[in-house]
Amino acid sequence: MRRGFCSLLLTALMLIAGPVAAAELVGGYPPDRALRLGERMYREGLLPSGEPMEALVQGDIPVSGTMFSCQSCHLRSGLGSVEGTIVTPPVNAVELFQDYTKAPAETLPQWQEIPSSMRPPMIRPAYTDETLARVIWTGVDSAGREISLTMPRYLLDEADMEVLVYYLRHLSARPSPGVTSDTIRFATVIAGDVPAGKAKAMVATLEAYFRDRNLPTRRQKDRARRGVFYRKHILTAWRRLELEVWRLEGDPQGWEDQLARLYAQSPVFALVGGLAAGDWEPIHRFCERMRLPCLFPLTERPVISERDWYTLYFSRGDYQEGETLARYLAGKKGDGRKLVVLRENGDRTKRVLLGFGQTWERLAGEPVSDIAVTPEDLAQMAPLKDGIVICAVTDRLLPRLFDLVRRSSNSLFYLFHGVSPGLAKKLPADLRPVVRMTYPYRLPEAESRYRRLVSIWLRGRGLKMTYPHVQTRCYFIGWMLSGVLMHLQSDYYRDFLLDIFDMMNDETYAIVDFPRLSFGQGQRYAAKGCYVVGFNPEDGRLQVLTDWVIH
């Protein structure tokens, strides 16, 4: 009897709870899963089933959602973009679900409180779930008007539409951590056994920029508080910048845990710069997991990934030098010379040959095998005849390598600047005609002019140029951050920060190391080129053999 009563009670409770649990589902999925599936629909154009979304453009042209994902035009943050004459409006939660006028909300007393004669025109009323689904299905907005035919009309069933609308209700719905009403917090990372002078040069240069940015020369704080109402969307965007220094110690395997503790104590809006004694990968992984932008870490050992999004690097580092040489030589394949690859053991040589090998196999259609060498191996190696010799060796092996070059005949030897930085100074004059090198920076004559400008800026702030590559890159970070924060206005979303970087013009003026940095949606390596150079037989100056841009 007791067991029967309990069974009956359990059945009754399930009947009561069932409708409630069902009501919490979104398109048939638990809310957390629906949010992830909606994110995939928005970013990748894939349905919850994994199939591509389908849509019509220009009225009757069928296209796959993977070709026209929402992110392609509205950007990852949902804050919209401009491409030529096409203006793509914001679709984040804050903008969709409020009345949309010709003036941002920050400029107003409440829209309804302004006398009708002074009220800015309303473009459309706030969307509801129903009207938002309608505009995605049919292109008719919440005001009953048809929007541009450039916007695809998506062919979604009701359950999939519910998932997408649910995601849009959460897209950039609140400002990201690290921002208060008057402050934006950033951090720079010093990981491992970085030389003290190098770390000091980086921090001092970044702090000099932050001090400049915070100077009250235009009374930004007062203007943000008391400025004229019709410019509040610009004036209230001003925030004081703060920079924290996060030091990571010990085994790199513990760096992520240290970052998590530092972040929990003081969340930041983004990381800027940064140095690591070793691979950047632990910091990269942390930023991906936390969706935390990391802007231009000072590393030649970045993570090479086509999908990761939150770390914006200067370049692919050593990998890019290997990639460049493979592209160059693949274009010359067929001249009858045999490819020989010599490798000294080490992390940097491994990385540069990874770039060379992967690119060579893709372009030349054959794998690359290498020969591990030591000074003794080079001393005993037979002369190389009619060869293209790739030498991934450090400065330590150069004297032995030079002897091998002299013993060889009709062979060309290629080295990598990042692995053998002393080559240009140590190369004997008689070997200049047959030795070449990858070079990922501005040529020295041009670089010195740009470096002089940064040196003047540093002197004006009581700093000396002690680590040029570090300090000139930190100067560039400050230069770019000023422009990006201006465009950010008061939309303090981390994804939008990176979206704005993606829309910035190519930069040739403020960057010293590289001839050009260029940006684009989802592109996470700004320097997209590298030279292959020879040496002038008369004076040893670098002679360019290729254009700088390679992809």
pTM: 0.89
Q: Is 367 exposed, middle or buried (0-12, 13-18, 19+ CB in 10 A)?
A: exposed
- For residue 101, the tally of other CB atoms under 10 A from its CB is 17
CA nearest to 481, candidates 259, 283, 205: 205
What pLDDT is recorded for position 1? Answer: 41
- Beta-bridged to residue 153, according to DSSP, are 56
Mean of pLDDT values over 10-33: 65
Q: Does residue 531 contact residue 498 with C-beta atoms inside 8 Å?
A: no
Lowest mean pLDDT, pick from 153-157, 217-221, 373-377, 385-389: 217-221
Assigned token pair, 172: 């950039």
Residue 358 has pLDDT above 90, yes or no: yes
What pLDDT is recorded for position 144? Answer: 93
Backbone torsion region of residue 210, taken as left when φ is above 0, otherwise alpha when ψ lies between -120 and 50, otherwise beta: alpha
Q: Does residue 510 contact residue 482 with C-beta atoms inside 8 Å?
A: no
Q: Assess if CATH 3.40.50.2300 describes domain 183-317+446-520.
A: yes
Assigned token pair, 12: 């009754």
Domain 319-439+532-544 fold is Rossmann fold (3.40.50)
What pLDDT is recorded for position 60? Answer: 85
CA atoms of 305 and 309, how far apart (whole Å)? 9
Q: Identify which of 19-28, 222-231, 313-322 has the greatest average pLDDT.
A: 313-322
Q: How many Cα atoms are found within 13 Å in the side-chain-facing hemisphere of 285?
A: 11
What pLDDT is recorded for position 391? Answer: 97
Q: Identify which of 4-18, 61-75, 184-198 has the greatest average pLDDT.
A: 184-198
Comparing 21 with 387, which gets the higher pLDDT? 387
CA atoms of 484 and 510, how far apart (whole Å)? 14
CA atoms of 137 and 120, how far apart (whole Å)? 29
319-439+532-544 and 183-317+446-520 share a CATH fold: yes
CA nearest to 91, candidates 35, 141, 157: 141
When pLDDT is cut at 50, 70 and 90, the band that residue 122 belongs to is: confident
Question: Domain spans of the chain?
Answer: 26-168, 183-317+446-520, 319-439+532-544
Helix axes 318-330, 347-364, angle to 10 degrees: 30
Helix axes 468-488, 196-214, angle to 10 degrees: 30
CA atoms of 205 and 211, how far apart (whole Å)? 10
pLDDT digits (tens, 9 = 90+) for 239-264: 899 999 999 999 999 999 999 999 99
CA atoms of 6 and 50, how far apart (whole Å)? 43
Helix-, strand-, coil-residue percentages of the chain, each rounded to 5: 45, 15, 40
